[in-house]
Chains A and B, each alone.
Chain A
Amino acid sequence: MSEASVRPAKDVRDTQLDAAELHARLARTWGSGRGLLAALSTVDHKIIGRRYIVTAFLFLFLAGLSAVAMRLQLARPESALMGPDLYNQLFTMHGTTMMFLFAVPVMEAFAVYLVPLMVGTRNIAFPRLNAFSYYVYVFGGLMLWVAFALNIGPDTGWFAYVPLSGPENSPGKRVDFWAQMITFTEVAALAVSVEIITTVFKQRAPGMTLDRLPLSVWTQLVTAFVVIFAMPAVMLASTMLILDRLVETHFFNPAEGGDALLWQHMFWFFGHPEVYIIFLPATGFVSSIVVTFSRRPMFGYLPMVLSVISVGFLSFGLWVHHMFTAGVPQLGASFFTGASMLIAIPNGVQIFCWIATLWDGKPVFRTPLLFALGFIVIFVIGGLTGVMVASVPIDTQVHDTYFVVAHFHYVLIGGAVFPLLGAVYYWFPKLTGRMMSERLGTWHFWLAFVSFNVAFFPMHILGLQGMPRRVYAYQAEMGWGPLNLLVTIGAAFFFLSFVLFLWNAVTSLRAGAPAGDNPWDAGTLEWATSSPPSPQNFDRIPFVTHREPLWAQRDALTVVAGLAVDHREVLVTSVTEARPDLRETSPAPSIWPFVSAIAVGATFIASIFTPWGVVWGAAPVGVALICWFWPKGAPEDEE
């Protein structure tokens, strides 16, 4: 197909046009058009990524509000603010939303937006699947929160242990909504993972060997693989739970030969990698920020990459440390102690490399770096308490107490939310073309940093003093009142810090200083294009000669030429060396991913109420998919 003679006559190449006309014609080719139908049909990874980010932050605020409500209840002993019914729904919604509707999707959202820009391509691989995944995710999240609003929200925790979540102990539809929400989120997450892996392996700009891949992209790549291997476990588990509940199978019923612990194994086989699915992309953000604001390339690029990969592998060997008190054999438990200790080493390597980079560089203290530094201070505490809970004897005391609540909030907020906030400050100019306010950003950072520690550090002590998790009330004679009040005050201020953040984002969006292409003088490819990027991302695909291409070629990037202008075409390159391989047509906008998502969503929801939902739902799903994949004759198909 590289033969010029078989090319259609009208095929205009970028070599034939001057810069201005090339830009305009590419923008027309890759643009999404106007109107509602066009908005729903778009396959632009930037538009979908932006929607993903905004939606995930919306869920963050909902989950944060439910946390504030719980903290008000726990501020004093035997509070009558709410009963166990609402409280149990709230902590289930909080955990479920934070894990499944915020943390995982927001990391994917950044991948969807940034990875194609960072590897220098024009769109994500399988862009229609990308649109589909977003709509499926939105419908799943909406279903869960509508159920909660109707007071049929799930109430068995984000982990939904059987037999409590089984048909006998949780009649009604609450748990079914939870289990089906898992299905929605998993479909979305698996789709994005496939897109990211394909984009990274096959659509990198020529010259971007794996050795020159930005660390942020490495983390997204490893995360995508972790998702692909971890998520099926929980999908299987939630499907078996639904079958137990809807069609009376007995997978988890010990009275009929099922096993209650089976659920825990399958859930945590996913649930522990899940932590790294959230954490690894965050380390990628930190690497990007540290490099840019240290003003030097990452110290120890290779050890960093190897650490990320080994964390990905090791994350699958830790799950039983969530079950040390469930009566697993001691020899088996010790294996998981060893594995849990071991994962501290690659994480330690990353911390040391960041500090070494900062040490040898010349740090510029802007808001993104503040959040990256806050991340190191907080996350190391979470990591070290992680080493403590990896010990079986210690875990038998602190498991399922507020000590563990403190531990994983240090890990997840310190390890993922702080880097994420840093990432928003860092990439906001790229997404919007405007800078966020540094002054508000500094206030935001210090308010968040201090209030986070006020809210979560005392929880360590509460747990050691015997306060279990997931209690809606506690008696005054337990003596936990004052520390709980302090925690609630900290939580309220922590929530305020997010309001401040939102305020900063909204005002900056309207009146922030114009950013320009590369406001931080960063080195990676996403800064080589305009802010916000035009629909085609790059007028000419860069040719990469260095890990930090924009630092290596300050005047003008070398580019490759020869891509079509009048239809969507991306350059496919080889996996390791990124040698140009093929020109491949990239799908045009289509409404069918949206229609398919509606059909799939309706099928999933209907199947909660009757198994026949699957049968009747198959027809519209089938029709929508046929329309989606109807062959239209892409140029290379005809050759």
Chain B
Amino acid sequence: MRSPRHAVVVAASLALAGCEGWQSSLDPKGPHASAIHDLFWFFTAVCALVWALVVLALAWALWRRRGLRPDPLSIQGGRERRLTIVVSTLVALTGVTLIGLTIASYASQRRLFGPQEARLTIRITGHQWWWDAVYEDPDPQRTFSTANEIHVPVNQPVLLKLEASDVIHSLWVPSLAGKQDLIPGRQNLLTIQADRAGVYRGQCAEFCGWQHAHMGFLVVAQPQQDFDAWRNQQIVARAPPDDELRKQGEGVFLSSTCVTCHTVRGAGAGGRVGPDLTHVGGRQYIAAGALRMSAEALAAWIVDPQGVKPGVHMPATPLRPDQVQPLAAYLEGLK
């Protein structure tokens, strides 16, 4: 155990460094998060001032010099009247302050939740414990599904249609916007926008069972051209494996229980229970942000999902040791 003082120093330095986190409402990277950020600091400043004044008043009340007061019931009428005036004034000031804060909040709410044009719509469905993302398009050929990581163009409002299949989840990418719940039987809407290219992390904010803690989500904001390229590449089916190991891996994939739950477009696997794996190798993480993408991580995950995320609905896949490596290589190659 480190000493408390050491911990205080570390904590203080990290409290400041934390402002640069990739999942932090203190580090807004989009207009929605920025608006909330400004409102937050306005409220914080006003509230800090109010608190300081209350504590000062309390300190003054406690330690001011005063005369003798032998009988607790000896009340001076004049002083009582003056106190009444002071307290009434303070209550009135409290009211005015609250009205000011309320107006600021309403104005910001109007801006944030007013009607917004979005050229890109993504339908996100929360599952225990991963996110299914379907990029909607009037042309069904251009609709595709991915999971746990969405790409968006910078400086473009993106509409997220939020749904849930099992329990309530909540989508929260603090650097871009506030959170919004995904509720079975309903559809909620959330608009997000990134001002700068970058990777922004989010995670489920509504308690949703055992692996609520490991239900991460990435938003990759890219310049329009890069985004278009990514999108066009996601639309097409998987490229057939070009080396022996990965060909063998596809064979393992198609002959094991993987296909009952997962889709790999072009390979003939069409399971709809788990994430679409057509381009899984292109994602930065697997298992909803639990592990960084690599062949090793994929192997570990496939062999023992319960070891990585206890309670996860993905069953362990019975595979021979010589099947694991080809399968992991195959999946990692699905860029």
Contact = CB atoms under 8 A, between A and B. Distances in A.
Contact of B72 (A342, A472, A485, A548): A548
B250 to A, nearest CB: 31
Interface stretch (B90-98, B224-232, B240-248): B90-98
Contacts of A88: 209-210
| Size category of the binding interface on chain B | 35 or more
A345 B98 contact: yes
B73 A548 contact: yes
Interface string B315-329: 000000000000000
A102 B324 CA distance: 53
A226 B250 CA distance: 64
Interface in B13-48: 14-15, 17-18, 21, 23-26, 33, 35-36, 39-40, 43-44, 47
A344 B95 CA distance: 9
B73 A397 contact: no
A152 interface: no
Interface string A497-528: 00000000000000000000000000100000
Given A356-B83, A380-B54, A470-B207, A296 B69 contact: yes
B273 interface: no
Interface stretch (B131-139, B142-150, B180-188, B264-272): B180-188
A635 interface: no
- Chain A interface bracket (under 10, 10 to 19, 20 to 34, 35 or more): 35 or more
Interface stretch (A104-112, A200-208, A252-260, A602-610): A252-260
B90 A260 contact: no
A551 to B, nearest CB: 5
B41 to A, nearest CB: 10
A385 B43 CA distance: 9
Contacts of A325: 170, 178-181, 205
Contacts of B44: 388
Given A325-B181, A399-B205, A466 B105 contact: no
A155 to B, nearest CB: 8
A157 interface: yes
B23 A478 contact: yes
Interface string B204-215: 111111111110
Interface stretch (B2-10, B152-160, B255-263, B274-282): B2-10
Interface in A538-568: 546, 548, 551-552
Contacts of A351: 54
A337 B179 contact: no
A308 to B, nearest CB: 15
B109 A392 contact: yes
A330 B21 contact: no
Interface in A323-358: 325-327, 330, 333-334, 337-338, 341-342, 344-345, 348-349, 351-353, 355-356, 358
A300 B87 contact: yes
Interface in B48-96: 50-51, 54-55, 57-58, 60-62, 64, 66, 69, 71-73, 75, 79-80, 83-84, 86-87, 90-91, 94-95
Nearest to A327: B188
A373 B112 contact: no
Main secondary structure of the interface of A (DSSP, over half): helix
B206 A466 contact: no
Interface in A467-483: 468-475, 478-480, 482-483
Contacts of A342: 98
B285 to A, nearest CB: 10
Contacts of A352: 87, 90-91
A232 interface: no
Contacts of B10: 482, 485
A472 B98 CA distance: 37
Contact of A85 (B95, B178, B311): B311
Given A376-B58, A466-B25, A479 B17 contact: yes
B61 A359 contact: yes
Most buried by B among A85, A255, A361, A384: A384
Interface of A: 83-85, 88, 156-157, 161, 163-164, 168-169, 254-255, 259-261, 295-297, 299-300, 303, 325-327, 330, 333-334, 337-338, 341-342, 344-345, 348-349, 351-353, 355-356, 358-363, 373, 376-377, 380-381, 384-385, 387-388, 390-401, 458, 461, 464-466, 468-475, 478-480, 482-483, 485-486, 489, 523, 546, 548, 551-552
8 contacts: A163-B167, A169-B167, A296-B75, A337-B105, A341-B99, A392-B109, A397-B25, A470-B207
Task: Please provide the 10 A-B residue pairs with the shortest distance between their CB atoms, ordered closest to farther.
Answer: A396-B178, A254-B185, A359-B61, A471-B213, A466-B23, A391-B105, A327-B188, A384-B47, A470-B207, A164-B167
